[in-house]
Structure 1
Amino acid sequence: MSKFLLLLLPLLLFGNFKFNDNYEKQVEILRKFDVDSSFLNDRFLIRLFHKYQSEDKKLFFFRAMSDAILFLPTIKKMLSDSNIPNEFLYLAIAESSLVSRSFSNKHAAGIWQFIPSTARLYGLRVDNYIDERLDMIKSTKVAIKFLSDMYKLFGKWYLAAIAYNCGKGTLRNAIAKAGTDRLEVLIDPEKKYLPKESRIYIRKILALALLEGSDSIFNSQKSYILNTGNTFSIATVYIGGGEKLENVAKDIGMDVKELERLNAHIVYGVTPPDNKKYKIYIPYFKLADFKSKYKSRRIFRGEFEYVVQKGDTLYNIGKRYNCDHESIAKINHIQNNKLYIGQKLKIPILYNPEPPKKEPVISNIPQDAHYSKIYKVKKGDTLYSIAKLFKTDIESLMEKNGLESPNIYIGDSLIVK
């Protein structure tokens, strides 16, 4: 008897739950995913929907939206322009809660949760300076391309969403085993045609989308977030390569952490030195300030590797190479300023396009016989590139030439051998 009651418990708890709430709107949402309205009777979907209607889950829903509020109008327009239902925004919420700096234990990252290999396959840059998986706009373009490809392959939007989670191969096999692509069959918990994660995943996306169509959300004080307009949109501007976001934030009177949050893909807060210019995002209402107050300051030229020695501290390493020790800590993800002997650090190379007023580093080179090679610095040279050219290291070049930092200037003469 007790076992029988236990089996009935889910039906007793959820059997009377219905989508009375804005029913026509919710049927319309399901149809956008090519899902039949009868799926509103799926008890697992009902369970998720009512779970998301709790106050703490609604708070999560709006927090996810508000964290990405500046990008929402652009993302929705991109989806719409590509003939993808706007409700696919909830796929990103299911993946990452719309947190750009979202990382999984499978090395996926960004609001659309791409792994590095997939990101690079679709043309996103992932390296020491830039991780475009964290760029909300560029990663959305890739998500649109992937979803469009899956829709062309499978013909239904709910199948494109499932393929996004488990891959087209797994979905193909599931459809072959089931003998149909009907949603209620593919996600049957007894047959297990699809992995459990994928069965939950599609229901989660649908439940979140249905939540937007519910009266409880539209009657909320924060419902304005769902209809965010251009007032909260972003502007795209260009700054130089090797520039710090911190300096741009000061120019336009903006909190640096907020600017870094909008540009989470710029990993160290410095645009890539190998680019002459690089695109960043700012709030649209800051565009006028940018046009009138922004000053280009190229700070970083590149980086070289330093191995920590006994007695080293971040402060004295920074002083030795004329570099802010906080920048070294940030680039190397160091917390509490702790170092260990043998640790490899990336040291940013400072860059100044204007030559100093003083004479070049070596104005009178001694005619000693052991100075067999003198090199004159050209445009584009760094101490690192020169050291690499002559198969030596930066420390040796600095010692031979009496340099206090790795900064060099066009026209300097350097002892290289």
Structure 2
Amino acid sequence: MSTPDCPGLRRIRDLGASLALALVVGACLVADSRAAVDVPRYELDCNADFPCHDALRRRTDFWIHVYNTWTTAQGVFHDSLHPERVYSVIEVPNGCRGSSKTVERERGRVEARLGQLARKVQDGSNIRDADDKALLSLFSDRSPKAIRAAARQIRCQQGNRDRFEAALQRYGAYGPVVRKLIVDSGLSEDIHYLPFVESLYNPAAYSRVGAAGLWQIMPKTARYLGLELDATVDERLDVEAATLGAVRYLKDSRNRLTAVAREKRTSVRPGDLTPFIITSYNYGVNGMRRALNQFGPDFVKVINEYKSPSFQVAVKNFYASFLAARHVARNADRYFGRISPDPALRYHTAVLDHDTSMKRILDVFGLSEDELKPLNRALTRFVWHGWRFAPKGYRLRLPYRADGWGPQIARLESLGPEDESRGPVRYSVRRGDTACGIARAFHVKCKDLIDMNRLGSRAFIRVGQSLVIPGKLGTGGGSAVSAGPGGTYRVKAGDSLCGIAGRAGVGCDALLAANGLSRRSVIHPGQSLVLPGDESGAAISRDREVGVEKPDRPSRYTVRRGDTACEIAQRLDVACRDLMR
């Protein structure tokens, strides 16, 4: 693999090792920050099934260069509507999003140069400066209006060479599986290059908006496609299941878009619709159906003229980036030299005949989590942490070995069901509760509570909703209070009085009164507390739905030196915003 091109370093490489580090860094920060950067023209391998329209060729050239030349440490400043119009390439160690000051400074520099050039062209000035000439060469019509418009649509694109090289290694493991499923489904074999665009062939990839897996499937779409998605299994992370889901999506897209296209034009070739079908995977079938209804099966016209708030840069470039990824993957040796691909997946499968803990699975097969997890990514972390059992019917994948796993599988099947009685607790949401407030009361991570209950990024909960509180299966967990004989509880390290009350489903004041304590009282690990009974006199046990009781009247607290409102709220086990009302 060649090193990233850094003209500054190239110029000073021979000046000696004593050159100051600041000079080296400065040279790279302006790497290729010329007025214009040439994007090569590549020989694209197109055919009737995957056409390369002339109007899309330069757009595709840009994405090929993103994949095979520029690295993730480089930011490419280009025209968002004409990606091949590249103004500069600079070092952005944290990417285009994470290097905001550097990015905005360079964007401003390019914008100013374009503005100056537009004024010179408008005034009829003789363009003599070499950088101005190079910049003007990017605009075939030399129009001041077009140059001013370009100044408003400057975009930073992070390079992807290093990530694409890593993707080619993963492709060795997963590519054969995906290719076979695609071909067996009747879709074109080349569709199996699409995961390079979606996830860089990473089956464990997650996006900022919640898409997951090799095919980057959203939760709602996963359920529509029939994939299992719950607290124990997420089939978006299973390469085979997710690929079959993607196949169903693409075949449905092909059928629906073909019907729409033939209403607009009877003589439609399959290749005419390929760009629409591929783009629908990013934009949605309904979005491409609306575009077809408006412009017919003319993809270039759709790219240039279709208007919609969500039809932006990523969508317009999706088919071109697919063609680019396909080209680079097919010509990997030319761009990356010899790559050592990961070995193709080989495994045995055992179908679980009852819900089974991960501890039992690992013990029976004598495997470590590191050995088993890469083959079973669909099992959620709640299963791996021991909070949930792997469900009955799950197809457990085991590392391949010549003599198989027959005796171990037989032993697993011979073992009886495990005790789930001490598994996760359920909690019924009360008025004023928040997800993180409930998590604090049960001494669990807020993210784990949100994920286990699929609450989404806003963690919205409603009064009366039943939440599952994570807790170790078969171990008593430690998350919830279990009443001892006579309704007692033995204090553990990290406990607080109101926290204990909340987990036991009793009022904090009631717990204090039952034990002759105040809110200032100090408790110690091993101390025995009496738990107040409910209306029937029985202590509240952990296998029923419990709710944190609110005191009948507000408690009072005297502020001490150094207190803050939120520290007091945490001490009293209430929400900070509730205290400040």
1:286 deviates by: 3.3
Residue identity opposite 1:346 in structure 2 = P
Partner of 1:107: 210
Partner of 2:339: 222
The within-5 A match list for 1:76-225 is 76-155=179-258, 156-177=273-294, 179-188=295-304, 192=307, 194-214=311-331, 216-217=333-334, 220-222=337-339
Partner of 1:264: 377
Equivalent position to 1:290, from 405, 410, 419: 405
Equivalent position to 1:27, from 43, 46, 51: 46
1:136 deviates by: 1.5
1:52 deviates by: 1.1
1:350 deviates by: 2.6
Q: Note if contact 2:169-2:339 (Cα within 8 Å) is conserved in structure 1.
A: no
1:55 deviates by: 7.5
1:191 deviates by: 5.6
User: In structure 2, do the counterparts of structure 1 residues 61 and 392 end up closer, same or farther at CA, with 3 Å as the change threshold?
Assistant: farther
Give the distance between the partners of 2:35 and 2:188, measured in 1 at CA: 36
Partner of 1:18: 41
Larger gyration radius, structure 1 or structure 2: 2
1:347 deviates by: 2.7
Give the distance between the partners of 2:541 and 2:61, measured in 1 at CA: 64
TM-score, reference length from structure 2: 0.46
Q: Deviations over 1:54-83 (max 9, x none)?
A: 275444224224346444322210001112
1:215 deviates by: 6.0
Other structure's SS at 1:142 match: helix
Residue identity opposite 1:257 in structure 2 = D
Partner of 2:395: 279
User: In structure 2, do the counterparts of structure 1 residues 207 and 37 end up closer, same or farther at CA, with 3 Å as the change threshold?
Assistant: same
User: In structure 2, do the counterparts of structure 1 residues 249 and 275 end up closer, same or farther at CA, with 3 Å as the change threshold?
Assistant: closer
Partner of 1:51: 66
Give the distance between the partners of 2:210 and 2:255, measured in 1 at CA: 28
Give the distance between the partners of 1:37 and 1:310, measured in 2 at CA: 57
Residue identity opposite 1:47 in structure 2 = F
Q: Deviations over 1:100-141 (max 9, x none)?
A: 333333332222222222212222221111122222211111
Residue identity opposite 2:330 in structure 1 = G
Q: Note if contact 1:241-1:273 (Cα within 8 Å) is conserved in structure 2.
A: no
Partner of 2:346: 233
TM-score, reference length from structure 1: 0.62
Equivalent position to 2:355, from 218, 242, 259: 242
Give the distance between the partners of 1:395 and 1:245, measured in 2 at CA: 23
User: In structure 2, do the counterparts of structure 1 residues 167 and 264 end up closer, same or farther at CA, with 3 Å as the change threshold?
Assistant: same
Structure 1: which 5+ residue stretches go unaligned?
A: 1-7, 315-326, 334-342, 352-390, 398-417
Give the distance between the partners of 1:310 and 1:51, measured in 2 at CA: 45
Q: Note if contact 1:234-1:282 (Cα within 8 Å) is conserved in structure 2.
A: yes
Give the distance between the partners of 2:470 and 2:162, measured in 1 at CA: 41
1:210 deviates by: 0.9
Q: Note if contact 2:53-2:300 (Cα within 8 Å) is conserved in structure 1.
A: no
1:53 deviates by: 1.2
1:201 deviates by: 1.8
Q: Deviations over 1:250-298 (max 9, x none)?
A: 5445441242232121112369759444212233x23734223344255
Please say if 1:301 is aligned against 2:420: yes
Q: Deviations over 1:200-231 (max 9, x none)?
A: 22222111011122264487321656xx66xx
Residue identity opposite 2:38 in structure 1 = L
User: In structure 2, do the counterparts of structure 1 residues 191 and 115 end up closer, same or farther at CA, with 3 Å as the change threshold?
Assistant: closer
Other structure's SS at 2:324 match: helix
1:198 deviates by: 0.8
Give the distance between the partners of 2:325 and 2:332, measured in 1 at CA: 13
User: In structure 2, do the counterparts of structure 1 residues 260 and 392 end up closer, same or farther at CA, with 3 Å as the change threshold?
Assistant: farther
Residue identity opposite 1:114 in structure 2 = I
Residue range with higher mean Cα deviation, 241-250 or 159-168: 241-250
Q: Deviations over 1:336-361 (max 9, x none)?
A: xxxxxxx973234439xxxxxxxxxx
What CA RMSD, in Å, does the superposition of the two structures yield over aligned residues? Answer: 4.0
Q: Note if contact 2:236-2:378 (Cα within 8 Å) is conserved in structure 1.
A: yes
Give the distance between the partners of 1:212 and 1:37, measured in 2 at CA: 20
Structure 2: which 5+ residue stretches go unaligned?
A: 1-33, 72-159, 259-272, 428-437, 455-466, 476-537, 545-581
Aligned length, in residue pairs: 312
Q: Percent identity?
A: 18
